Amino acid sequence: MRNAGLLDRTTFFVVSDHGFASYTHSIHLNFGLEQQGLLRNDGNRYAGTVLVKSEGGAAQVFIPDTKQRVLLVPRLKTYFASLPGVARVYTNEEALAIGLPSEQDTDQAPQLFLTADRDYAFADDAADSLVTTHPAEGQHGYLNTDSDMQALFVASGAHIRQGVKLGAITNLRVAPTIAAVLGVDLRSAKEKALTEILK
């Protein structure tokens, strides 16, 4: 922008949709389910009674057969809770409190929702052990109560006051703030622009 002669009328926003946490241990739930006789590994792909979708600090467990759910949910909750690196195992009913949908309302809701301890993350890939250790990597998917999951917000430039420190803000204020700089009215916005940072 400097080379183009536009720096004095440019505003920069650096934002993110989530934070990142480092971890050195991966939990391979599919390996554990294979040991339980609920999955089989066909090369690099798992198939069976239970499906797992890992997302770093969280994992969703689906049991498509509703008759199997009655037996497997309590059994797997106990099993997963005993594994190293698993912070908590929520049933679908318990997970409603942290914002997950009810399995009564959608077939996209997991029957179990797992969260990882610090320095652990869940992985979907095929493995020869339940937990592997490796050099530090980064991942998201942890509960939003984890301070490492807080998103980044930096604003600077032509329409921004210098030296203002905001502290924590809701992501719902980012779009209205950018819209205010652009002169766009976001009538459906649920939060107001960060006028305290604007010139």
4-21 pLDDT, tens digit per residue, is 999 999 999 999 888 889
Strand partners, 122: 27, 56
**Confidence class for position 192, pLDDT limits 50, 70, 90:** very high
Contact 129, 27 (CB under 8 A): no
Range 137-167 burial, b when 16+ CB lie within 10 A, else e: eebbbbeeeeeebebebebebebbeeeeeee
Two structure tokens written together for 144: 């939003």
Q: What's the pTM?
A: 0.78
Please state which of the ranges 45-49, 51-55, 66-70, 117-121 shows the lowest mean pLDDT: 45-49
Whole-number percent of the chain with pLDDT over 90: 81
Cα separation values, 96 from 76, 90, 100, 105, Å = 19, 9, 5, 12
pLDDT for residue 43 is more than 80: no
Output the pLDDT for position 105.
Answer: 95
Output the pLDDT for position 142.
Answer: 87
**Fold exhibited by the domain 21-146:** Gyrase A; domain 2 (3.30.1360)
Each residue of 112-122: pLDDT tens digit? Answer: 999 999 999 99
Phi-psi region of 189 (alpha: psi -120 to 50; beta: other; left: phi over 0): beta
Residue range 55-82: mean pLDDT, rounded: 96
Domain ranges of the chain: 7-17+151-197, 21-146
